Amino acid sequence: MKKIFLSLALVGLFSAVSYAQISQGTILVGASSNLGFSSTSFDGADDNLNVFNIDVKGGYFIIDNLALGLGVGYYKGSMGDYSESATSFGIFGRYYVNGKIFLGAGYQSEKVEDSDALGSIPLEVGYAAFITDNIAIEPALGYALGMGDNESSTFGLNVGFTLYLNRN
């Protein structure tokens, strides 16, 4: 019974993947924000850091359903009476399942005002809801794991708009 269920699941997955795809050569250009729904917890801290951010990214589909690209971001955060701002630069990869569900990962370097740059590994899972053939609204859950001296983790809901150029 388990083998039958597994076989049916694999056939369904491959059918879904082959049904819709985003073709090689497509270019994506997008912007997203967490709209204030992000909360970061730090080791040993009692308060959470509340953040508003805006991210802009551009990528290229090197093969069907797989895009690689660059991103730039800005955020303004506050924790109690303290506030800070930062800029970020990074690389990302996104894989699309059925041309709509995407899984993403990357590396990001953040420069917070007068401190050294901090690194993190952002992960995301989301849905590309196409409102036209080339424009999608993309809600996504994101998680970023701090690296090195950046002992933080961030979980949030992002909403973005993405333009897919040359999409077949």
The residue range of the domain holding 157 is 2-165
Q: How far is CA 8 from CA 14, 16, 69, in A?
A: 10, 12, 35
To which residue do tokens 């805006």 refer? 54
CATH number at residue 160: 2.40.160.20
In whole angstroms, what is the distance from residue 116 CA to residue 113 CA?
9
**Residue 23: alpha-carbon gap to chain centroid:** 20
State residue 25's pLDDT score: 95
Q: Is residue 137 within 8 Å of 161, Cβ to Cβ? A: yes
- Asked if the model's pLDDT at residue 63 lies above 90, the reply is yes
- Asked if the model's pLDDT at residue 61 lies above 80, the reply is yes
**Residue 138: alpha-carbon gap to chain centroid:** 10
In whole angstroms, what is the distance from residue 141 CA to residue 138 CA?
10
State residue 13's pLDDT score: 45
- Asked if the model's pLDDT at residue 6 lies above 70, the reply is no
Give the residue among 77, 33, 84 at the shortest CA–CA distance from 54.
33
Domain count, the chain: 1
pLDDT in tens, 85-136: 889 999 999 999 999 999 999 999 988 777 788 899 999 999 999 999 999 9
pLDDT level of residue 68 (50, 70, 90 thresholds): very high
3-state secondary structure 149-163: CCCEEEEEEEEEEEE
In whole angstroms, what is the distance from residue 30 CA to residue 137 CA?
10
The alpha-helical segments, DSSP class H, found in 26-124 are none
Per DSSP, the three-state class of 41 is strand
Which percentage of the chain shows pLDDT scores above 90?
48
In whole angstroms, what is the distance from residue 138 CA to residue 131 CA?
10
**Average pLDDT of span 75-84:** 78
State residue 81's pLDDT score: 77
Per DSSP, the three-state class of 80 is coil
